[in-house]
Amino acid sequence: MAEPAGAAGPAVGFVGLGNIGKPMALRLAASGLPLHVYDVAPGPLAELAAAGAQVGGSVAEVAAAVDVLCVMVRDDEQVRDVLLEALTRAREGLTVVVHSTVAPGTPGELADVAARHGVRLLDAPVSGGPMGAAEGTLAIMVGGDEDAFAAARPALEAMGTKVVHAGPVGAGTRFKLARNLMHFVSFTAATEAQRLAEAAGLDIKALGDVVRHTDAITGGPGAIMHRDTTAPIAPDDFWHGVFSHVVALGDKDLGFAVALADELGVDVPLARLAEERLGKGLGL
C-alpha cells in the first residue's frame, strides 16, 4: 500500500539515479517528501539511503509504495520496461512522471498503456543539466492532464524552479525537443565561431568566456523569444522596430564575419544560412 499523502505531501518514487536522476532524487529527499528509490547500481542507492530515502528492491516494489513515480532512465526502451514493471504492482491512481527525453510519439503510447491499469502518466523532460538538478533549479516541461499535473506538482517543484504545464500528454516532450533544437544548433554555431577565431589567431577559450559573460547579460538566443506567434510582423507592431534593428546589426556583422571566414578559408555554413534567414525568421 502506498503511504497516505498528508502534510508532508505525496509519497514519491524515483527510478534511475544517474548523472541527472541522482541529484534530482537528492533534492526530493531534502524536500521532506516521503521518498522511495530504485536503481540497478548500488552506489547511488547508498547515497540516497544516507539522505533519508527508502531503498526499494525493485521498480514494482517502489511503485506499490508511492503516489507519484518519477522515471529518469536512458531511453525509450528503458522507460517502457520501467513502466511495464511498475504496472504489475501499481495501485489505481498512481501518477507516473517520465523525465527521460523520448521520441515524440512515446508519451502518448505509454499513457494509453498506463490508463488501462488506472494509472496516469505525465511526460516531464528537464533542462538545466546536472548543475540545475543539484541546485534544484531545473526547468521542467510537463505534458498531461490537470489532475495528474496537480498530483505531481509538489515533487516537480522540489526539483525545479521553472515548472511549465505545456499541454496534454506529449506536449512536454515536444517542448523539450524545440528547446534542444536551439541548444544543439547553437553549439554547432559555436564551433563555427571557434574555427573562425582560431584561424584569426585568437584565444578561443577567451572567446568562450566572453560569450558566456554577454549571454548572461543579454539572455542569449532567448532574448528574441518574446512574441506569441511566428507570423509576419505588421509595420506598426512594437516588435517590427526592435527586430528591424536586430536584422540591421545582424546583416552587418554576419557579412563581416563571413567575409573574414572567406579570407581565412574557414567553412561557416550556418553563418551563411543566418545571413539568408534571420530577417524572415524574425517575422520581417
DSSP string, 3-46: PPPBTTB--EEEE--STTHHHHHHHHHHHT--EEEE-S-HHHHH
Q: Are residues 128 and 236 in the same domain?
A: no
Final residue of a structural domain among 169, 192, 218: 169
Question: What's the whole-model pTM score?
Answer: 0.92
81-100 confidence digits (pLDDT tens)? 999 999 999 989 999 999 99
Angle between helices 21-31 and 42-50 (to 10 degrees): 20
201-235 confidence digits (pLDDT tens)? 999 999 999 999 999 999 999 999 999 999 999 99
We report the CATH number of the domain holding residue 273 as 1.10.1040.10
140 occurs within a structural domain: yes
Q: Are residues 148 and 212 in the same domain?
A: no
Q: Are residues 141 and 217 in the same domain?
A: no
Q: How many domains does the chain have?
A: 2
Final residue of a structural domain among 143, 169, 195: 169
Q: Are residues 164 and 239 in the same domain?
A: no
Cα distance between residue 284 and residue 282, in whole Å: 6
185 occurs within a structural domain: no
Q: Are residues 42 and 91 in the same domain?
A: yes
> pLDDT above 70 covers what percent of the chain?
98
Q: Are residues 126 and 251 in the same domain?
A: no
Catalytically active residues, by annotation: 176
175 occurs within a structural domain: no
Q: Are residues 144 and 276 in the same domain?
A: no
* Domain range enclosing 124: 12-169
Q: Are residues 128 and 252 in the same domain?
A: no
Q: Are residues 94 and 222 in the same domain?
A: no
